[in-house]
Structure 1
Amino acid sequence: MKPCRVETNGMEMELDRRSLAMIRLSFGGRTWFENPDNGASLWRLHAVDARGRRVDLECGGCRRAEVVRRKDGVELRWTGVAHRAAGAGPFDVTVRLAPVAGRRLLTAWRIDVRNRSGDWTLWHLLFPLLNGLRPGPSPDRDMLFWPEMWGMQTTGWERMKEVSGVCGGYGKHSAQFMGFSHSDRTFYFASHDPEQWPKHMVFKPVSCRSRRSAQIYFLAHPAGMTEAGNSYRQQYEVVLGEIPGDWYDAARTYAQWVRGRPWVSSPPKNAFKGLREEREILVWEQGSINAFPSERVVTVNDLSASKWARQMKTLKRKLGVRMAVHMYHWHQTPFDTNYPEYFPVKQGFKDLVADLQDAGIVIMPYINGRLWDHSAPSYDAQAELHAVKCCAERAAPPLRFAWPESYGNGQLLVTMCLATEFWRRKVVQLCERIVKELGCRGIYLDQLGCSGSRTCVDPRHGHSLGGGSYWLEGYRRLLASIRDRIGPEPYLTTENNWEACVADFDALLDTQWNHEENLPIFPAVYWDRGAIYGGDVFGPAFGGGGETFIQRMGMRCVWGGELGWGHFEHLLKPENRDLLDYFIGLCRLRTDHARFFCRGEFLRPPEVVTSDGTKCSSPLKGPVLSALWSDPDGDGCSLFLVNVTRGEQRVKVRMTDARAAARSPAVCVSLRPLESKAVAL
């Protein structure tokens, strides 16, 4: 039987005529996915019943499948989808394919699932489930990229491994898109979901002797999980298709959509309204009070508190920039224990705060924005009521419980539901006490930016069960309430860079160990909106001549990050004099050109080649790191270069950004050892 063909906006798809399984998916005549053996289902439903039976259903289980062509695209319909042996179903599935306005070869996909069963609950679904991704003409040059922290890539089909994670979860997928490039084309795969429903994004190579392939999909959670008969209507578009170019072009495609979302463009009404460079904190020290139990401040970072404070003041004078201390262990209770009982504080902490802040150093204490210690005296019936609940995969489960987490100290903590006013009020009160009682000018709310949207199945909370927009809504209410109580001046930060946090926080902590595979996806999407700090420059980073310190800080400088987090007191050691000079140079470069990094646009990275022919492609090793930023106050742009070696470098820089190339197609620049430099174009 000949396949059925559907077309829209330059997308061509061949489908098995009986089941509408996808045989081939092409864009502009170029095949990206191919499943020659009877095709592969475009979706998979995972359903469970009250007895704990679980089934997966695909298009082959339908009674009827049909294609309906419309003026605005195509509908694929499957009716009577069921698992006959288990008695699961029937389900009716409709997939809508529509063109993306103004973007040939991009298509918008939606799925509706009608559950006509009285016994089965739809637990999750995979959609679009695209099997048979093919390598390009040169598989060793194929590139997979995804938005893990700054951004990550893998080049070469043989090196590609599974990339899977929660959107917004622990930096794995801080945004809702990824891509696969070969030749000069990229397959773009994105969820344009303004409500941030909980979902996973997955790329998975498939082992097969006869041919290489991979699958790519979103795993989504419907509302009504645990309720028999729940249906699903996708509230957002999954946009996919071919775009010309590479990862940068994919990032800009996503940026066109995401920069209009309120969680990127609209900070709370009582947030700071001035220019970003007026309040940017450029250097972030990490301070840990006492490596032993004590009710008073004795040491910070294994130095006497007084000596460490003197070193911070010395650093502040030498660097000449806004500086902050991200402070841990300031409370008498042990770390990750008895949360959210952070008071009383260690004796002497308030005096330490006043001393350093009088010297112009912001003190930002740690609190956790989502966890309550299950064994804390304050964890009572009210706390239990408002915790996130999970359950076994069942319809109408008899038990819904708070799942405990542990972080290596033997304590059990549970996630609180951000949709509840009870938890939001608790966090707001803590923030108010830190600012008003302790005088701190910053607060770090841990884990809000690294957990993404969660699923909660407690019907007493008043939100939809499982999937829904309630997590984003509750989180944004929390941050707005914090600003209402503490005002615009205190600095707010969180862990990792979930895109939904961009508008609400002054900076986002990068906890990722840096890789040669890093890409500057974050600034390519969120330029002038979001800021990242981090880098893990603790004691070991200064060993071996400080190469790790040099590389990590250089990368962050040119990509627009704030510098830290770590133990910068090591810079004051005599043997690290050249590292201090290098860091002072980075600080001056960032300060003198703050408007570029805070309000300018991150342009397509240039191509840099040293005089001996070395391509500067590694974001860590260089030997010269580079970036192009536009001038927000004019029509020019500047090239920023950092020599991360202790030798002189002469480089030729070719502009790949059209605007920069129109001003100066290429420049030659000489750099002294460890020199950072700006070149106006």
Structure 2
Amino acid sequence: MRCGVRWSGVALLAVLARLGAAPVTVSAGELTVSLDPADGYAISSLRHRASETELVAPRPAGVKQDRALWLLQLRDAAGQTRTVSATGLAADCSAADGGLKMVWREVGAALGADLTVTATATPRTDDIAWRIEVAGQAEGVLWQVDFPRLLGLRGLGDDQLALPEYLGRLVRQPADHTWRRLLVYPQPASMQFMAWWGSQDNREPELAHVDGRLAETGWMPYRGDHLGLYLAAEDGRGYYKVLGAQGGEVKGQFGWWLSHVPELATWPLPAGRQAVAYALPYEVVTAGFYGDWHEAAERYERWAAKQVWSARGPVGTWADELPDEADGRARFVPRWFRDIAFWGKFYFEPAKVLPELAAYRQWLGVPMASHWYRYTIAQFDDNYPEQLPADPYFREAVRMGRTMSVPTLPYTNGSIWDTDTQSWLREEGLAAALKDEAGGIYPWDIHGDIFAWMCPATAAWRAKIRETSHKLITEHGCPGVYLDVLVAGTPRPCYDPAHGHAIRGGNHYGAGNRRLLYELRERERLTDPEAAFFSEEIGELYNDLLDGHLTLDQLRSTPPPGEQVWPLFPAVYHPYTIYFGSDSSLETPLDQLAWEMGQMLIWGSQPL
């Protein structure tokens, strides 16, 4: 079936305007999507089928708004980036796999390009799967692909939006104030979906306003009868991408999209005309639903439970003894780690820490553990990832901690290397560092010391983390290691061809960290079967290769008014991993401390 006729540019639009060409549609489950051939097949309607509610607002009069289904960024050897969108472009449209196939030809001609863009929208049981391919030639390379773009979404009155930022974020009334969020995956985007739900029925009581925006509140009225919209990338390999969302560009509207980063074969970019051949390596899905964040999380969990990071299974299926095979050793969570009821966080020398451990253990009378900072001779935040030599009494203190049943896991950093250490020079750390476009390191300045962000796709960096962890576990008797930043840190594109991974895009960062953790855990369990490893913050990609996640969102994050930290990640992954936190202090007033501890328990965290 043909659902469009190929014409060139302005001529097509003129004919369609006269003929009033109807939008083409694809439906699945609770959602019908309409794409307008007179507008370059931009999404012109998202209709919630059962309620017949339209979720896309009319175009605002007098406001230029590009609602193109896709945007392409092209980058040339001189570093100039240019954008091409589907707006105003002709396309062929035909039926394919029960859905739609749209083909734009001669794309980017004004920029010296000759590209063919093919996008498909395929209905499945209760959602619509989207794919895009770009092929042809261009002056430079394909740098970024934004697709699909769902813009002009309208607020219904009582609206909420969930974002997968670390533990999760809840944005209230996303269409009514100006905001913008670009979440890089695999961090700070801990998952790959966003969800909105709304109703014209405003729930009482109305929320107070602060500076013209809704203030955060600790309660949530029932919204299980709301209309919902869901957008997700079904990427089980951890490709680098960006989840984008914004509100307030046009009053009463918000929008969201995914940005995909193609792999490059060489760097620096060669001059002249280059072949382009890109196919999105996963599907993006849209769906309508009834409910709120609970139902959105259930939908995502049905897919996530089948991915490699859920291979360990729910906690009730975990092995009680270390398995013999390598995969089992890498994914094993020791019993003592599962049974922790309280986490401590202690600083400085053993003479200070040991009495504190003993007092907490005696008073609480529950299984507990601690992570330990500033146990080194060097000043804090220096020499990462090497934290030895430690205090002369550190090894004995670790042993005594084990004796009183308080495992203490020392702190180090799993993502950066101090550039003024002897090991950086002698072991040629520069070769294993992430490289920016100019071939330099990505620096992190900590109190005047410069650290380099490291590339986990390199064997040298993975070996360095194994070495530092092995010394803490075997030479000092530590029951495990706290690898800070490994999960919390935002991936940086790497432009070093010598590393052997795809340049800029791809999944080398997440896959490299997974390999790092797998090798570390599988090998170290041969020495200490119950060694445990965790990192700060939370991310699905590492669920099966960490014993737990330290989450600090509740108390360290300061979202703007109208936005708050929300347990979106636990709603999906509570059966599959352990998390603990947040970051309470001894100076906290008792009533506030009780609230903090209660929130951690309600959200499924081991309290800290």
TM-score range, shorter chain: 0.7 to 0.9
Partner of 1:145: 162
Q: Secondary structure at the match of 2:229?
A: strand
Which AA in structure 1 matches 2:26? E
User: Do structure 1's residue 489 and structure 2's residue 530 form an aligned pair?
Assistant: yes
**Alpha-carbon separation, structure 2, partners of 1:35 and 1:465:** 41
**Alpha-carbon separation, structure 2, partners of 1:419 and 1:207:** 39
Partner of 2:443: 404
Q: TM-score, normalised by structure 2?
A: 0.81
User: Do structure 1's residue 223 and structure 2's residue 263 form an aligned pair?
Assistant: yes
Partner of 1:648: none
After TM superposition, give the deviation of residue 257 of structure 1 in Å: 0.3
Residue 307 to residue 424, structure 1, CA distance change in 2 (3 Å): closer
User: Do structure 1's residue 82 and structure 2's residue 127 form an aligned pair?
Assistant: no
After TM superposition, give the deviation of residue 193 of structure 1 in Å: 0.7
Partner of 1:430: 468
After TM superposition, give the deviation of residue 271 of structure 1 in Å: 4.0
**Alpha-carbon separation, structure 1, partners of 2:95 and 2:257:** 25
Residue of 386, 407, 414 corresponding to 1:369: 414
**Is 2:337–2:532's contact at 8 Å kept on the other side of the alignment?**
no
User: Do structure 1's residue 127 and structure 2's residue 167 form an aligned pair?
Assistant: no
Which AA in structure 2 matches 1:163? R
Partner of 1:473: 511
**Alpha-carbon separation, structure 2, partners of 1:277 and 1:485:** 20
Partner of 2:312: 266
**Alpha-carbon separation, structure 2, partners of 1:215 and 1:97:** 19
User: Do structure 1's residue 353 and structure 2's residue 398 form an aligned pair?
Assistant: yes
**Is 1:24–1:35's contact at 8 Å kept on the other side of the alignment?**
no
Residue of 531, 555, 558 corresponding to 2:599: 555
User: Do structure 1's residue 99 and structure 2's residue 139 form an aligned pair?
Assistant: no
Residue 257 to residue 68, structure 1, CA distance change in 2 (3 Å): same
Which AA in structure 2 matches 1:334? Q
Partner of 1:508: 549
**Is 1:203–1:217's contact at 8 Å kept on the other side of the alignment?**
yes
**Is 1:55–1:88's contact at 8 Å kept on the other side of the alignment?**
no
User: Do structure 1's residue 459 and structure 2's residue 501 form an aligned pair?
Assistant: no
**Is 1:496–1:511's contact at 8 Å kept on the other side of the alignment?**
yes
User: Do structure 1's residue 534 and structure 2's residue 574 form an aligned pair?
Assistant: no
Sequence identity (%):
27
Partner of 2:323: none
After TM superposition, give the deviation of residue 218 of structure 1 in Å: 1.2
After TM superposition, give the deviation of residue 423 of structure 1 in Å: 0.8
Q: TM-score, normalised by structure 1?
A: 0.73
Partner of 1:597: none
1:6-21 equivalences under 5 Å are 6-9=25-28, 10-17=31-38, 19-21=40-42
Which AA in structure 2 matches 1:285? G
Residue 231 to residue 402, structure 1, CA distance change in 2 (3 Å): farther
Residue 277 to residue 132, structure 1, CA distance change in 2 (3 Å): farther
Residue 402 to residue 342, structure 1, CA distance change in 2 (3 Å): same
Partner of 2:95: 69
Which AA in structure 2 matches 1:403? Y
**Is 2:134–2:276's contact at 8 Å kept on the other side of the alignment?**
no
**Alpha-carbon separation, structure 1, partners of 2:428 and 2:351:** 42
**Alpha-carbon separation, structure 2, partners of 1:368 and 1:115:** 44
**Is 2:176–2:252's contact at 8 Å kept on the other side of the alignment?**
no
After TM superposition, give the deviation of residue 188 of structure 1 in Å: 0.5
**Is 2:178–2:247's contact at 8 Å kept on the other side of the alignment?**
yes
Residue 115 to residue 281, structure 1, CA distance change in 2 (3 Å): farther
Question: Residue by residue, what CA displacement relative to the aligned partner does 1:400-424 show, whole Å, maximum 9, x if unpaired?
Answer: 22111123x1111111111111111
Where relative contact order (Cα < 8 A, 6+ residues apart) is larger, the structure is 2
**Is 2:358–2:404's contact at 8 Å kept on the other side of the alignment?**
yes
**Is 1:419–1:475's contact at 8 Å kept on the other side of the alignment?**
yes
Gaps of 5+ in 2: 1-16, 200-225, 314-326
Q: Secondary structure at the match of 2:476?
A: coil
After TM superposition, give the deviation of residue 148 of structure 1 in Å: 2.8
Question: Residue by residue, what CA displacement relative to the aligned partner does 1:306-355 show, whole Å, maximum 9, x if unpaired?
Answer: 35422321221222222112111222233332223322222211121112
Partner of 2:44: 23
**Is 2:338–2:578's contact at 8 Å kept on the other side of the alignment?**
no
**Is 1:4–1:14's contact at 8 Å kept on the other side of the alignment?**
yes
**Alpha-carbon separation, structure 2, partners of 1:404 and 1:128:** 34
Task: Calculate the aligned-residue CA RMSD, in Å.
Answer: 2.3
User: Do structure 1's residue 418 and structure 2's residue 464 form an aligned pair?
Assistant: no
Give the paired residue count: 525
Most deviating of 143-152 and 126-135: 143-152
User: Do structure 1's residue 33 and structure 2's residue 33 form an aligned pair?
Assistant: no
After TM superposition, give the deviation of residue 285 of structure 1 in Å: 1.1
Q: Secondary structure at the match of 1:148?
A: coil
Q: Secondary structure at the match of 2:262?
A: coil
Which AA in structure 2 matches 1:471? Y
Residue 278 to residue 419, structure 1, CA distance change in 2 (3 Å): closer
After TM superposition, give the deviation of residue 441 of structure 1 in Å: 0.5
**Alpha-carbon separation, structure 1, partners of 2:43 and 2:553:** 38
Residue of 182, 206, 230 corresponding to 1:188: 230
**Alpha-carbon separation, structure 2, partners of 1:204 and 1:274:** 39
**Alpha-carbon separation, structure 2, partners of 1:56 and 1:98:** 27
**Is 1:369–1:427's contact at 8 Å kept on the other side of the alignment?**
yes
Partner of 1:56: 83
Residue 308 to residue 12, structure 1, CA distance change in 2 (3 Å): closer
**Is 1:95–1:110's contact at 8 Å kept on the other side of the alignment?**
yes
**Is 1:419–1:470's contact at 8 Å kept on the other side of the alignment?**
yes
Residue 89 to residue 25, structure 1, CA distance change in 2 (3 Å): farther
After TM superposition, give the deviation of residue 563 of structure 1 in Å: 0.9
Which AA in structure 2 matches 1:126? D
Residue 284 to residue 83, structure 1, CA distance change in 2 (3 Å): farther
**Is 1:128–1:217's contact at 8 Å kept on the other side of the alignment?**
yes
**Is 1:432–1:485's contact at 8 Å kept on the other side of the alignment?**
no
Q: Secondary structure at the match of 2:530?
A: coil
**Is 1:198–1:454's contact at 8 Å kept on the other side of the alignment?**
no
**Alpha-carbon separation, structure 1, partners of 2:310 and 2:431:** 32
1:102-117 equivalences under 5 Å are 103=126, 106-117=127-138
